[in-house]
Amino acid sequence: MADRLPERRLRFELRELALVGIGAVPGALLRWQSGVQLGPHLGGSAGANLLVNLVGSFLLGFLVGPIPRRTSLLLLLGIGFCGCLTTFSSWMLDVAALIQAGRPVWGLALIGASLVLGVLCAAAGLGLSRLVFGRETG
């Protein structure tokens, strides 16, 4: 039995890798299409990036709630999907673009709004998760 332990670990690691990868592809595609489809209607990439970051914050808040068998969902949706949907680099690129365009106050406003609204969305997601699945025990 002990000699099969490395084989079991490898299968478990491959399963984790597959869950993250399966979630990452739709997250990346949705991020890309949000910029293409929503950007023109939301004031450019900054508006689209803010929206997907807030949606991702809500989903992450929901996922950290009292969901049964949460580990697989966190790998698939939390790390994979939300990891590709929400990106720090796109957010900072938007801030840098605003600063370069001579609009540093808008850059700071984007940082503040993203942080405040992101925390509020995560809290709302957690609240919904608790409403749906009940409060955690212990």
Alpha carbons 38 and 75: distance in angstroms, whole number = 27
Could you give the CA distance from residue 56 to residue 90 in angstroms, rounded to a whole number?
14
Q: Taking a C-beta distance cutoff of 8 angstroms, is the pair 32, 85 a contact?
A: no
**What percent of the chain has pLDDT above 70?**
92
Q: What is the pTM of this model?
A: 0.85
Q: Are 70 and 63 in contact (CB under 8 A)?
A: yes
Cβ contact 77:55 at 8 Å: no
**pLDDT value of residue 135:** 76
pLDDT of residue 1 exceeding 70, the answer is no
CB-CB neighbours of 134 under 10 Å: 10
